[in-house]
Structure 1
Amino acid sequence: MITYKSRADVPTQEKWNLEDLYSDLNKWEQDLSQIEKMAADLKQFDGQIHDGKSLYQFLKLQEELSYKFNHVYAYSMLQVDQDTRETSSQSLLDRAKGLSVKVSSATSFFMPFLLSLDEETLKKYINEENGLKYFEDDLFESFRYKAHVLSKDQEEVLSQLGEALSAPSNTFGMINNADIKFGEVTGEDGEKVELTRGMYSKLMENEDREKRKEAYKAFYKPYLQLKNSIASTLSAAIKNNVTMAKIRKYPSALEKGLFGDNVPKEVYENLIQTTKEHIAPFHHYSKVRKEKLGVDELRQYDLYVPLSGVKQEISYDEAYETMIKALAPLGEDYVETLKQFRDSRYIDVRETPGKRSGAYNLGVYGVHPYILLNHRDDLNSLFTLAHECGHGVHSKLSSQHQPQITARYSIFVAEVASTVNEVLLINYLLKNEKDEEVRKHLLNHFIDQFRGTFFTQVMFAEFEKLTHEKAEEGSPLNVEVFNEIFEGLYREYYGDEMVFDEEVKYGWSRIPHFYRPFYVYKYATGFASAIHLATRILEGDQETLENYLEFLKSGSSDYPLELLKKTGVDLTTPLPIENSLRKFSELVEEYSLL
């Protein structure tokens, strides 16, 4: 694996080109100043919108501000992420965040104003001013919220409570990221060293079972010590959400969480129910894993160790070429777009000191996507590349084919494009691999990805549903209640092959996503949708391919469920979930025979 001691050592071709956003800092400063002025101008519209012309002037200026602000914010964020130690970059990001607060404050009057209008008045304004046709769908979409928006004074009070309402999430963030100190583990030289999150992930893949067990116990130790504090923050977060749902007159917290994407609660319930009805292959996988590992008992610290000793070194150039070949079924235009990503430096490839960890895609309307990687020349990095390029192409095509107002796609559909790429990649690798050990390694990789992105997220989604229902009933939420629900679900999903350590029931205490309620289910629906689509594309279904490419160009031009229906995926029925679970069953069956 290539390692770099400094960002300056990385070849220019493997670093993203931020000059596509701003050629120099002066231009960034100019936009920042201009946005401040535009925000002040927007504030002047408060109480002054009386006809179609003034409404159009406000919306047009707001969109122009949004365009500039997205560029200003993206530039400062990307600067920070390429070296988080750089104080000058942190200063840029702090200024961009401060500007965001000013913009929100300047425009906070508008939604209560809009929803104070009756529908006839809004239609009259649109007929008066031709330019409002561009904003028409968005304006009427806001009307969906009318029953859930309070008076101007009440909204003002709620906005002032924002910081207090986010306190449970912020408190957990401080506990989880700043205060928690993990127990000690035995280092390579036999000395005791303090465990870190990065070490934990690596140790969970260690072939030495005692090392895995030691790391597992050490990792959970502080969560058990702080169990009552964390239970209090999670309980408060759930109760806040339930209270806000009541204040805003939603039937339930779940329906409030689904409202933005216009998803009926039956989709959420169908995901959980269909998964549980077809859980047997997942139980079978626990048995297969236990047999392959050769252990008497399968425990939680046995779930992440690879079942094959194969370690493939795949250079970045080789990974890129492999990805291009694997994604050829998506057509020439798609492949050409991928080549442009590399040639025009949309991607920041290498891990360097101070660089943000992980990977992401950031679409910037009017410029292009920016992709952050920490490429390590291995199989995981190859899959991460294909995954993030899926998001990147989705961003690029939506920006090219949609106006700014509908270019950004919903998180609900985001994981579809990335996972379709991964399914096509695993199919290509398996088709072209003759070595049985490598095939085992690939199958194991995909099965474990299925577990993490699908089954685990469905289990988490059910935990959120059950805990919010408890709060809505007025039942207490504490350590014992969380433990009982979480352990019950874990046993249900993982089956009888698992032997449960005391720590398993405390799994809820370390999940940041629980502070952003009813979000994780989107990973599972996105994953299932992608399996469904990729399978059809690989079967040569030309209509599905054409519909899928149109979907990538659609941004948020329709509600997520409707966009997916146009590709042939109907999540209001069990079919896409059943198809993906059938695929999982086939993978486990094939793997068990190797």
Structure 2
Amino acid sequence: MKTYKSREEVPETEKWDLNDIYVSLEEWERDYQKIEKNVAELQTFDGKINDGKTLYNFLHKEELVETLFKNVFVYAKLSGDLDTRETLPQSLLEKASQLGVKLNSATSFFTPFLLGLEKSTLDKYIEEDSRLDYFKDDLYDAYRYKKHVLSKEKEELLSQLGESLSSPSRTFGMINNADIKFGEVTDDDGNKVELTRGMYSKLMEEDDRSKREEAYNAYYKPYVQLKNSIASTLSAAIKNNVTLSKVRSYPSALEKSLFANKVPKEVYENLIQTTKDNLQSMYRYTELRKKTLGVNELRQYDLAVPLVNGVKEDISFDDAYQMMLDALSPLGSDYINVLQEMKSERYIDVRETPGKSSGAYNLGLYGIHPFVLLNHQDDLNSLFTLAHEMGHAMHSHYSNTHQPQITAGYTIFVAEVASTVNEVLLINFLLKNAKNEEYRKYLLNHFIDQFKGTFFTQVMFAEFEKKTHERAEKQESLNAESFSELYEALFQEYNGDSLVLEEQTKYGWARIPHFYRPFYVYQYATGFAAAIAIANKILNGDEEVLANYQEFLKSGSSDYPIELLKKTGVDLTSPEPIEDALSLFAELVDEFSKL
């Protein structure tokens, strides 16, 4: 695999083209100043909306300004992510972020105003100006929140407390990203070096068990040392969420989080219960891992090492792209043609270079196109990451092309479906074309571990969140000891008795940033289950499901996520999709065991 010492070494064809947003900084600056001027104009509507025409003028101007703002913000972010050490793009991003605060402040009057209107008054405004039909669904949807919105004075007070209420999350972010220093590990030359997060995930796949153990101890060391400080931030975040739920008259913190997407709490509870009723195959896999590794006691640092050795292969970016196209051909020729265009038109930034933002993501820009950031490593993981992110990009492309701007965006609840359908189609293609039994075993092991991380681990996290919030609602204590006792019990329950827990295991809660975004992670598991159901039907030649899935990709947020998925034949209010996903996991473990 070629490594690049600078961005200049990367071929132009493997770099995205930001000229599609702005061809010059002057153009960016012009839009920035235009937004500043319009933000001031938006503020003048406060207290002046008293007929249909004025209401339309405000909403229309707000949408135009938000479109421009997204272009300005995304351009700054994409530029900055190419080299986080460069000061100019970082200053553009800071400037854009401050502008975003001004825009939010200028329009913050609108929701309390709208919910203060009688519905009959809103009906009258909509009758007065037919152009309001475009905004009608959103305006009426806001009324769902009516009993959860406070008086104007109290809402203003809460908005002023916004920064304080988000303080636990920011504090954890600073501890986790800026302050934490991991312990030392031994490099290949026998020297002691400080562990980094990137090194940790690689070392966890090392064949040498002593290296894995050393990395594990070094990684957990700061979290154990800071357990009380982190427990304090997590406890505050949970209590803030519970308090806000009560202030806004929601039955529980869980129901407050599910309200926006109209997800019944039974979906959340059913996910946890159905998974817990089907943990036997997970226990079998843990036992199989112990047996395959030939260890007397399976430890937490043994859970990520591949069980099949010597079959890793280099997959160049061009080869990976072609393999993905072949694997996704069941989705139809239009899907494949657009994917080919995304590569040739330079929507993707492919290579890891010094200073480039880590990881991978897709950012869809309405009226322009999606932009995909990768750090491609020419390996199997990178192939799966490519298929995953291009799934998001295609979802953005279809929704932006077929929906008006107001409904083009989509929620996290459905986002993970589009990416995971691609991964399921890819693993099926690779298994079908595996050149020998060892490689097939390697692929099965990869998919089982991915399944475990995306499904079982996220359900365990979801149960931890549910129980900690319930404790706060009963005013029970939340501290390092209570978090650790709960986390340890859940970790054992989800992994089985074949796993011998380390002393550090129980502090796993201290390293999870998702816990500061309450009741979010369950969507990875529901999305994964829904994707498996859809992909399997497409692979079985179900033309109706294929057509419905193609429509789903074009749907944006034109309906609530549960309803959008029902149109593809997946009903997450029933246990069936979760049970089907768990049956597939059991089959994968069976086959891997036999091989």
1:242 Cα offset (Å): 0.2
Q: Distance in 1 between matches of 2:109 and 2:167?
A: 25
Q: Distance in 2 between matches of 1:152 and 1:37?
A: 26
- 2:360 is the counterpart of 1:384: no
- 2:187 is the counterpart of 1:187: yes
Structure 1, unpaired ranges of 5+: none
**1:466 corresponding residue in structure 2:** 467
**2:223 corresponding residue in structure 1:** 223
Q: Distance in 2 between matches of 1:280 and 1:377?
A: 35
**1:566 corresponding residue in structure 2:** 567
Note the alpha carbon deviations across 1:282-313, whole angstroms, 9 max, x for none: 11110111111111111100000111122110
**1:45 corresponding residue in structure 2:** 45
**1:78 corresponding residue in structure 2:** 78
SS in 1 for 2:363: strand
**2:343 corresponding residue in structure 1:** 342
**1:277 corresponding residue in structure 2:** 277
Note the alpha carbon deviations across 1:239-277, whole angstroms, 9 max, x for none: 000000001110000001111111010000000001111
Q: Distance in 2 between matches of 1:332 and 1:296?
A: 52
**1:476 corresponding residue in structure 2:** 477
**2:490 corresponding residue in structure 1:** 489
Q: Distance in 1 between matches of 2:34 and 2:190?
A: 59
Kindly report which structure 2 residues correspond to 1:120-519, keeping only aligned pairs within 5 A, or say none. Answer: 120-309=120-309, 310-519=311-520
Note the alpha carbon deviations across 1:89-117, whole angstroms, 9 max, x for none: 00110010010000011001000000000
Give, as a single letter, the amino acid of the residue that structure 2 aligns with 1:29.
E
1:184 Cα offset (Å): 1.3
1:45 Cα offset (Å): 0.1
**1:24 corresponding residue in structure 2:** 24
Give, as a single letter, the amino acid of the residue that structure 2 aligns with 1:353.
P
Q: Distance in 2 between matches of 1:229 and 1:520?
A: 23
SS in 2 for 1:144: helix
SS in 2 for 1:40: helix
Give, as a single letter, the amino acid of the residue that structure 2 aligns with 1:457.
Q
1:434 Cα offset (Å): 3.0
1:198 Cα offset (Å): 1.2
- 2:579 is the counterpart of 1:581: no
Q: Distance in 2 between matches of 1:587 and 1:11?
A: 40
Question: How many residue pairs were aligned?
Answer: 594
Give, as a single letter, the amino acid of the residue that structure 1 aligns with 2:242.
V
Note the alpha carbon deviations across 1:374-394, whole angstroms, 9 max, x for none: 001000000000000000000
Note the alpha carbon deviations across 1:307-326, whole angstroms, 9 max, x for none: 11221100000000000000
Give, as a single letter, the amino acid of the residue that structure 1 aligns with 2:475.
G
Q: Distance in 2 between matches of 1:321 and 1:477?
A: 51
SS in 2 for 1:145: helix
Q: Distance in 1 between matches of 2:369 and 2:196?
A: 36
SS in 2 for 1:157: helix
Note the alpha carbon deviations across 1:70-93, whole angstroms, 9 max, x for none: 111110000000111110000110
Give, as a single letter, the amino acid of the residue that structure 1 aligns with 2:129.
E
Q: Distance in 2 between matches of 1:33 and 1:149?
A: 34
Q: Distance in 2 between matches of 1:189 and 1:27?
A: 51
Q: Distance in 2 between matches of 1:281 and 1:489?
A: 17
Give, as a single letter, the amino acid of the residue that structure 1 aligns with 2:106.
A
SS in 2 for 1:348: strand
Q: Distance in 2 between matches of 1:348 and 1:172?
A: 30
Give, as a single letter, the amino acid of the residue that structure 1 aligns with 2:107.
T
Q: Distance in 2 between matches of 1:189 and 1:23?
A: 47
1:182 Cα offset (Å): 1.0
Kindly report which structure 2 residues correspond to 1:531-570, keeping only aligned pairs within 5 A, or say none. Answer: 531-570=532-571
Give, as a single letter, the amino acid of the residue that structure 1 aligns with 2:271.
L
1:189 Cα offset (Å): 1.6
Q: Distance in 2 between matches of 1:185 and 1:259?
A: 46
Q: Distance in 1 between matches of 2:260 and 2:450?
A: 28
Q: Distance in 2 between matches of 1:134 and 1:363?
A: 22
Note the alpha carbon deviations across 1:364-410, whole angstroms, 9 max, x for none: 00000000000010000000000000000000000000000000011
SS in 1 for 2:57: helix
Give, as a single letter, the amino acid of the residue that structure 1 aligns with 2:174.
M
Give, as a single letter, the amino acid of the residue that structure 1 aligns with 2:577.
P
Q: Distance in 2 between matches of 1:557 and 1:103?
A: 25
Give, as a single letter, the amino acid of the residue that structure 1 aligns with 2:430.
L
Note the alpha carbon deviations across 1:309-361, whole angstroms, 9 max, x for none: 22110000000000000000000000001001101110000000110000000
Structure 2, unpaired ranges of 5+: none
Q: Distance in 2 between matches of 1:466 and 1:218?
A: 29
- Provide the identity percentage: 68
Note the alpha carbon deviations across 1:29-59, whole angstroms, 9 max, x for none: 1110000111111000000000101000000
**1:67 corresponding residue in structure 2:** 67
1:557 Cα offset (Å): 0.1
TM normalised by structure 2 equals 0.99
Q: Distance in 1 between matches of 2:368 and 2:193?
A: 46
1:191 Cα offset (Å): 2.0
Superposed CA RMSD: 0.6
Give, as a single letter, the amino acid of the residue that structure 1 aligns with 2:458.
Q
**Runs (4+) of structure 1 moved beyond 2 Å?**
none
Note the alpha carbon deviations across 1:558-594, whole angstroms, 9 max, x for none: 0000000000000000000011111111111110111
Q: Distance in 2 between matches of 1:163 and 1:67?
A: 26
Q: Distance in 2 between matches of 1:5 and 1:187?
A: 21
